[in-house]
Amino acid sequence: MNAEIETLYPAIGRAIIGVVGSAGGKILMYAEVEDGVVSTQVFSPERGKIVYRFGGGELDDLVYDLWTKWTEVPGNQEWRAMVYLINENRKFSIDLIYPDKFNDKADVVARRTAAAQSALGALPIDYSQAQASR
């Protein structure tokens, strides 16, 4: 793996935690990327629901930087979405969704809802706290 790419993984994690603040527990970031476009959303379970927040700013920049550097490595396939999960112990896992597994027939709300509820539980999603990153 590329050293530049390796440094982006924990930087993305720190930016995700920065969006949520001091909340403990699992945190999930769902991102969709294509040439010139990136969108990041952050989800965390809180008091019986999943709270949604915009990623934006630094998080968008870091994810797009990772996507760009990833696609520059010979042999790497371009991906369309990323699911970045931080567990209670602050360990992370990353799933990249490639075009052949990306459901472009569904809208973005359905895709990100499915990712959030798959990782965090079938809780209702609260969009009332959506805001740009801190």
pLDDT in tens, the chain (134 residues): 688 899 999 999 999 999 998 667 899 999 999 999 999 999 999 889 999 999 989 999 999 999 999 999 999 999 999 999 999 888 999 999 999 999 889 998 999 999 999 999 999 999 887 764 44
Which range of residues forms the domain containing residue 93?
Answer: 3-126
Residue 131 inside a domain? The answer is: no
Residue 93 inside a domain? The answer is: yes
- What pLDDT is stored for residue 131 in this prediction? 61
- What pLDDT is stored for residue 88 in this prediction? 86
- This prediction's pTM: 0.91
Considering Cα of 56, then 107, then 96, then 75, what sign does the dihedral take?
Answer: negative
Identify the CA nearest to 23 among candidates 90, 82, 83, 84. 90
What CATH number corresponds to the domain at position 35?
3.30.500.20
Query: What total of structural domains would you count in the chain?
Result: 1
Residue 133 inside a domain? The answer is: no
Q: What would the DSSP string read from start to end of 13-43?
A: HHHHHHHH-S--S-EEEEEEEETTEEEEEEE
Classify residue 106 by its DSSP letter.
Answer: S
Cα–Cα distances (Å) from 127 to 43, 68, 110, in that order, read: 10, 30, 14
Residue 84 inside a domain? The answer is: yes
Residue 134 inside a domain? The answer is: no
